[in-house]
């Protein structure tokens, strides 16, 4: 959960990142455009999107970065710091889609900077298609309580 501190010693290679489900609706897509000052009509105006040849307004690909950040930060707890996040968009997401963020720990190493944890991540839709793949994150964990 987002509120529980997780330490480096509590993380092992192969650990699953708790899955996160995100249901996509047009209101949330519009809210994302407003929150990022990105008023491009492709992401909320159905007539405009169809005029340009798209079946419907599609989710801004960057929104996946916000979902994946929530996914890993909820699992890692409030004292872990997200150092890196990379992702490739594969399949467009549309209103009505249900997306699931998934991931697994692939490497751990204690460094001068802290306890570094690498994860492979991906996002699937309700048809099992990979919407985002591959993706990966690097997080810095506290090495131990109070440290």
Partner 1 sequence: MASLLERLKETVGQKIVIQAPDEMGRSSLRQYALAIGDFNPLYSDREFAQTHGLREVMAPPTLICDTWQYVDSDMDDRGDLVGRGPIRELEGLRAGNEYEFFQPIHPDDVISAHWTVKDVYEKTGRTGSLVFQVIETTFYNQADQLLARNTETMFYRPEA
Q: Binder to partner 1 among 18, 61, 100, 108 (CB under 8 A)?
A: 61
Maximum distance among all alpha carbons in the chain?
57
- Cβ-Cβ contacts under 8 Å for 47 (sequence gap 6 or more): none
Least Å distance between CB 72 and partner 1? 10
Instruction: Identify the helix (H) or strand (E) that includes residue 70.
Output: helix 63-76
Least Å distance between CB 109 and partner 1? 18
Q: Does 94 bind partner 1 (CB under 8 A)?
A: no
Query: How many Cα atoms are found within 13 Å in the side-chain-facing hemisphere of 134?
Result: 5
Q: Binder to partner 1 among 15, 18, 70, 102 (CB under 8 A)?
A: 70
Size of the site for partner 1 (CB under 8 A): 38
Q: Does 130 bind partner 1 (CB under 8 A)?
A: no
């Amino acid at each position: 959960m987002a509120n529980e501190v997780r330490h480096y010693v509590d993380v092992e290679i192969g650990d699953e990142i708790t899955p996160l489900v995100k249901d996509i609706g047009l209101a949330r897509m519009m809210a994302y455009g407003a929150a990022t000052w990105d008023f491009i009509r492709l992401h909320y105006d159905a007539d405009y999107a169809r005029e340009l040849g798209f079946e419907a307004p599609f989710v801004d690909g960057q929104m996946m970065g916000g979902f994946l950040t929530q996914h890993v930060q909820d699992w890692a707890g409030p004292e872990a710091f997200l150092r890196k996040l990379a992702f490739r968009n594969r399949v467009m997401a549309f209103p009505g889609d249900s997306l699931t963020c998934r991931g697994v720990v692939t490497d751990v190493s204690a460094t001068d900077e802290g306890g570094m944890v690498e994860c492979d991540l991906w996002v699937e839709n309700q048809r099992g298609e990979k919407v985002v793949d591959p993706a990966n994150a690097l997080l810095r964990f506290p090495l131990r309580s109070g440290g």
